[in-house]
Structure 1
Amino acid sequence: MRNNWNIFAEKILEHFDISDDFDFIVGRDLDGTRFKKNEVIIHVLEENKI
């Protein structure tokens, strides 16, 4: 989980060749959803049924 834009979070992990070490990658969306940190956290919890 990152507070960066989702696309950048994925690119950062891919750059360091560690994206396969993660089951779930999430950050802010470019469309304006999940903009605040708490929205990102809520999304992670909901997607993982926690």
Structure 2
Amino acid sequence: MLRMIIVEDEHLIRNWLSQVIDYKQMGIELLACVRDGQEGIEVIEGYRPQIS
């Protein structure tokens, strides 16, 4: 299973991306959703996702 994080500054889009799409059905584990690039870098360093 691939591991992924979402980095999106728009709250509504970030929520939509995390709730509407069935990532597990596509073989993707959603690890985190973050609001900006700085937070994204910190999360990427901690989780080491294949998709970000």
Q: Quick check: which one's strand share is greater?
A: 2
Give the TM-score of the pair, scaled to structure 2: 0.39
Larger relative contact order (Cα-Cα within 8 Å, sequence gap ≥ 6): 2
Give the TM-score of the pair, scaled to structure 1: 0.39
